[in-house]
Amino acid sequence: MTMLGETTHDAMALARSVGYYRNRRLILADVNLTIATGGRWVLFGPNGVGKSTLLEMIAMRTYPNVGGLRVFGDRTVAGSDPEHRRTRIAIVSAAFGHNIGSGMNPLTVVASGIPRGMKDSADEAYEKAYAMMRRLGIAYLTGKQWRNLSEGERTRVMISRALVSPADLLIFDEPTTGLDLGGRETVLRELSALASRGDERTMLLVTHRVEGIPAGFDHIAMMGRMMEHECMTYLDTHPCIYATLDGNTTPGTITFTGPLDEGLTDERLESMFGVPLHVEQTGQRWRASHRLRFA
C-alpha cells in the first residue's frame, strides 16, 4: 500500500503535510513524520510547540484539519475510528490521569488496562496487575484511593496499566514530570528496560528535556516553530486554512527526524530553545546545560 509515495505497510504512524488549527489559531503546519512499527521514538521540542496535540492525533483523540495521517496503516477519520483501533494504543499522561475516578483503587486502575474480552478471569487480571505494580515498586498503593496518590505515584500506576495492556503502541507523554529523583530514575529504568528488550511494541515518548530520555530510545522527531515565510508558503497552498485564522504564523512543525545521536546537537538545541546549549551523552543518558561564552 502506498500513500504519497511512501510505503506504509511497516509504518505504525505516517503523517503527511498535517495541519491543525483550533480557536482560529494555527497550532501545527506541514507535519511530516513516519514512525516504523516496533520503533523507539522520542518526540522532542519546547513548551507549547504542539507535541501533545500531535500525540492526540496519533492516538485518534483529535484529527488533522488538512493533510493525511495513517495509524496502523489506515487513514484516521473523525467520528469513525473504531474503538478497537484505539484500544491498540495505551497512553500515559497527566490528562489521562484526570479521567480516573477519584475513589478508584490503583490496583483496579492497572487491571483496567486489560480489555474485558482478554481477561480469563477477574482474578487473573488482578494478579497480573499486582505483579506489575510490584515490579514498579508501587504494590503498597493497593487499596488506596486515586485522589490520595501523589503525582509520581499516579504516573507509575498509569505506566503499570500501559504495561499490562496488550496495546501495540505505548505513548508516554512527559512521564517523569513531577517525579522526585527516585521516582524519575525508577520510571526511566523501567522504560529503558522495556525499550531494550525485544518487545515488538512501538514506543513513543514525549519530552522537552533531554534528561528525560530513557536509554534504549534511539530515534527522535524534533519539533520547532515554523519560520513566518515558510508558514506563508504553506498557507498559500492551503487557502482553506488561511480563511479561518486570525494570526499565529509560527506554528509548530517537525524540524528533524532520525537517529537520536544525529538529532541532538548543540546547534539544533540552540536554535530550538534560543539559548546557547551544550548537549552530551554520558553512558546511555543525555544531559544539556547552558554553554557559557566568555569574551
Ligand X SMILES: Nc1ncnc2c1ncn2[C@@H]1O[C@H](COP(=O)(O)OP(=O)(O)OP(=O)(O)O)[C@@H](O)[C@H]1O
| Count of residues that bind ligand X according to CB under 6 A | 13
Is there binding between residue 246 and ligand X (CB under 6 A)?
Answer: no
Question: DSSP label at 8?
Answer: -
The least distance separating ligand X from the CB of residue 5, rounded to whole angstroms, comes to 28
By CB under 6 A, residue 49 contacts ligand X: yes
Shortest distance in whole angstroms from residue 175 CB to ligand X: 13
Stretch that binds ligand X, among 46-54, 65-73, 74-82, 110-118 (CB under 6 A): 46-54
CB 13 within 8 A of CB 55: no
- What is the amino acid identity at position 89? I
Smaller CB separation from ligand X, 16 or 208: 208
- For the bound state, the minimum distance from the C-beta of residue 246 to ligand X, rounded and expressed in Å, comes to 11
Cell numbers describing residue 20: 491543525
Q: Which of 2, 5, 9, 23 binds ligand X (CB under 6 A)?
A: 23
Give the residue, chosen from 17, 32, 37, 53, that forms a contact with ligand X under the rule CB under 6 A: 53
Residue 48 lies near ligand X (rule: CB under 6 A): yes
Rounded to whole angstroms, how far apart are CA atoms 206 and 199? 19
The answer to the question of residue 62 lying near ligand X (CB under 6 A) is no
Does residue 98 belong to the site contacting ligand X (CB under 6 A)?
Answer: no
Coil vs helix vs strand at 75: strand
25 touches ligand X (CB under 6 A): yes
CA 21, distance to chain mean position in Å, is 20
Residue 56, CA distances (Å) to 96, 173, 185, 231, 286 in order: 11, 10, 26, 22, 26
- The closest alpha carbon to 67, from 227, 241, 276, belongs to 241
Q: Based on the shown chain and the rule CB under 6 A, indicate whether residue 225 belongs to the binding site for ligand X.
A: no
| Cα angle, residue 172 at apex, residues 122 and 15 outer, rounded to 5° | 115
Closer by beta carbon to ligand X, 52 or else 196: 52
**Closest CB to ligand X among residues 26, 194:** 26
58 vs 277: CA distance, rounded Å? 30
Q: Cα–Cα distance between 289 and 10 in angstroms, integer? A: 37
In whole angstroms, the minimum distance from the beta carbon of 208 to ligand X comes to: 5
Given the rule CB under 6 A, which residues bind ligand X?
A: 22-23, 25, 27, 45, 47-53, 208
